[in-house]
Amino acid sequence: METIIRTDLAKMKADIKAKSVEQRFLKNQRKTVYIVGDRIMPAIDASYKHFTNREDLRILYAAYGLARGKSFSQIENHYSQAEHPLKKFQKSIDRITEKYLVLEEVETVNV
Protein backbone atom coordinates (compact mmCIF):
# COMPACT_ATOMS: atom_id res chain seq x y z
CA MET A 1 0.00 0.00 0.00
CA GLU A 2 1.19 3.44 -0.91
CA THR A 3 -0.22 6.77 0.19
CA ILE A 4 -0.60 9.53 -2.38
CA ILE A 5 -1.80 13.11 -2.03
CA ARG A 6 -4.49 14.29 -4.40
CA THR A 7 -6.91 17.21 -4.67
CA ASP A 8 -10.56 16.49 -3.91
CA LEU A 9 -12.03 18.06 -7.05
CA ALA A 10 -15.58 16.88 -6.32
CA LYS A 11 -15.68 18.73 -2.98
CA MET A 12 -14.13 21.81 -4.57
CA LYS A 13 -16.72 21.75 -7.36
CA ALA A 14 -19.55 21.35 -4.84
CA ASP A 15 -18.26 24.37 -2.89
CA ILE A 16 -18.11 26.41 -6.10
CA LYS A 17 -21.73 25.48 -6.86
CA ALA A 18 -22.85 26.38 -3.34
CA LYS A 19 -21.15 29.79 -3.50
CA SER A 20 -22.64 30.53 -6.92
CA VAL A 21 -26.14 29.71 -5.64
CA GLU A 22 -25.51 32.07 -2.74
CA GLN A 23 -24.38 34.75 -5.23
CA ARG A 24 -27.70 34.50 -7.10
CA PHE A 25 -29.57 34.86 -3.80
CA LEU A 26 -27.48 37.88 -2.78
CA LYS A 27 -27.97 39.52 -6.17
CA ASN A 28 -31.70 39.52 -5.56
CA GLN A 29 -31.34 40.70 -1.95
CA ARG A 30 -29.23 43.73 -2.86
CA LYS A 31 -31.98 45.20 -5.01
CA THR A 32 -33.88 48.10 -3.47
CA VAL A 33 -36.82 47.99 -5.89
CA TYR A 34 -38.58 45.04 -7.59
CA ILE A 35 -37.22 42.41 -5.24
CA VAL A 36 -38.44 38.89 -5.98
CA GLY A 37 -39.72 37.22 -2.81
CA ASP A 38 -39.18 38.40 0.77
CA ARG A 39 -36.28 40.50 1.96
CA ILE A 40 -34.13 38.53 4.37
CA MET A 41 -31.21 40.96 4.79
CA PRO A 42 -30.69 44.68 4.20
CA ALA A 43 -29.53 45.65 0.73
CA ILE A 44 -26.24 47.14 1.96
CA ASP A 45 -25.29 43.93 3.78
CA ALA A 46 -26.18 41.86 0.73
CA SER A 47 -24.06 44.14 -1.48
CA TYR A 48 -21.03 43.79 0.77
CA LYS A 49 -21.40 40.01 1.07
CA HIS A 50 -21.87 39.74 -2.71
CA PHE A 51 -18.63 41.70 -3.25
CA THR A 52 -16.57 39.53 -0.88
CA ASN A 53 -18.07 36.30 -2.23
CA ARG A 54 -17.23 37.39 -5.77
CA GLU A 55 -13.52 37.57 -4.92
CA ASP A 56 -13.65 34.28 -3.00
CA LEU A 57 -15.42 32.59 -5.90
CA ARG A 58 -12.86 33.88 -8.39
CA ILE A 59 -9.99 32.52 -6.29
CA LEU A 60 -11.78 29.20 -5.73
CA TYR A 61 -12.44 28.85 -9.45
CA ALA A 62 -8.79 29.61 -10.22
CA ALA A 63 -7.66 26.96 -7.70
CA TYR A 64 -10.04 24.46 -9.33
CA GLY A 65 -8.62 25.23 -12.77
CA LEU A 66 -5.02 24.90 -11.59
CA ALA A 67 -5.85 21.59 -9.89
CA ARG A 68 -7.16 20.34 -13.23
CA GLY A 69 -3.87 21.29 -14.92
CA LYS A 70 -4.86 24.52 -16.63
CA SER A 71 -2.83 27.72 -16.74
CA PHE A 72 -4.03 31.16 -15.66
CA SER A 73 -4.55 32.25 -19.27
CA GLN A 74 -6.76 29.19 -19.87
CA ILE A 75 -8.83 29.89 -16.76
CA GLU A 76 -9.45 33.55 -17.61
CA ASN A 77 -8.57 33.74 -21.27
CA HIS A 78 -8.84 37.49 -21.84
CA TYR A 79 -5.43 38.07 -20.21
CA SER A 80 -2.00 36.92 -21.32
CA GLN A 81 -0.05 34.51 -19.13
CA ALA A 82 2.82 36.96 -18.51
CA GLU A 83 0.79 39.73 -16.84
CA HIS A 84 -2.21 37.82 -15.53
CA PRO A 85 -4.04 39.47 -12.59
CA LEU A 86 -4.57 36.13 -10.82
CA LYS A 87 -0.83 36.03 -10.04
CA LYS A 88 -1.38 38.51 -7.21
CA PHE A 89 -3.76 35.97 -5.59
CA GLN A 90 -1.23 33.11 -5.74
CA LYS A 91 -0.91 32.80 -1.94
CA SER A 92 -4.69 32.61 -1.53
CA ILE A 93 -4.94 30.07 -4.33
CA ASP A 94 -2.24 27.92 -2.71
CA ARG A 95 -3.97 28.13 0.68
CA ILE A 96 -7.29 27.00 -0.84
CA THR A 97 -5.60 24.19 -2.77
CA GLU A 98 -4.01 22.93 0.46
CA LYS A 99 -7.44 22.92 2.09
CA TYR A 100 -8.72 20.39 -0.47
CA LEU A 101 -5.74 17.99 -0.39
CA VAL A 102 -6.56 14.46 0.76
CA LEU A 103 -4.46 11.37 1.43
CA GLU A 104 -5.45 8.28 -0.51
CA GLU A 105 -4.29 4.70 -0.10
CA VAL A 106 -3.33 3.00 -3.36
CA GLU A 107 -2.39 -0.61 -3.78
CA THR A 108 0.88 -1.18 -5.55
CA VAL A 109 1.55 -4.18 -7.72
CA ASN A 110 5.04 -5.66 -7.47
CA VAL A 111 6.24 -7.20 -10.69
Q: Which residues are paired to 90 by β-bridges?
A: none
Is the Cα torsion angle 35, 36, 41, 45 positive or negative in sign? negative
pLDDT at 99: 92
C-beta separation of 16 from 64 below 8 A: yes
Q: Closest by alpha carbon to 19, among 96, 81, 72?
A: 96
- Whole-number pLDDT of residue 62: 92
**What does the alpha-carbon distance between residue 41 and residue 56 come to, in Å, rounded to a whole number?**
20
Would you say the pTM of this structure is higher than 0.85?
no
pLDDT in tens, 59-90: 999 999 999 999 888 888 877 778 888 888 99
**Are the CB atoms for 54 and 23 separated by under 8 Å?**
yes
pLDDT digit string (tens) for the chain, length 111 residues: 788 888 899 999 999 999 999 999 898 888 877 777 788 888 899 999 999 999 999 999 999 999 999 988 888 887 777 888 888 899 999 999 999 998 888 888 776
Q: Alpha-carbon distance 109 to 1, whole Å?
A: 9
pLDDT at 36: 76
Q: What one-character-per-residue DSSP string does 38-74 give?
A: ---S-HHHHHHHHHHHHHHHHHHHHHHHHHTT--HHH
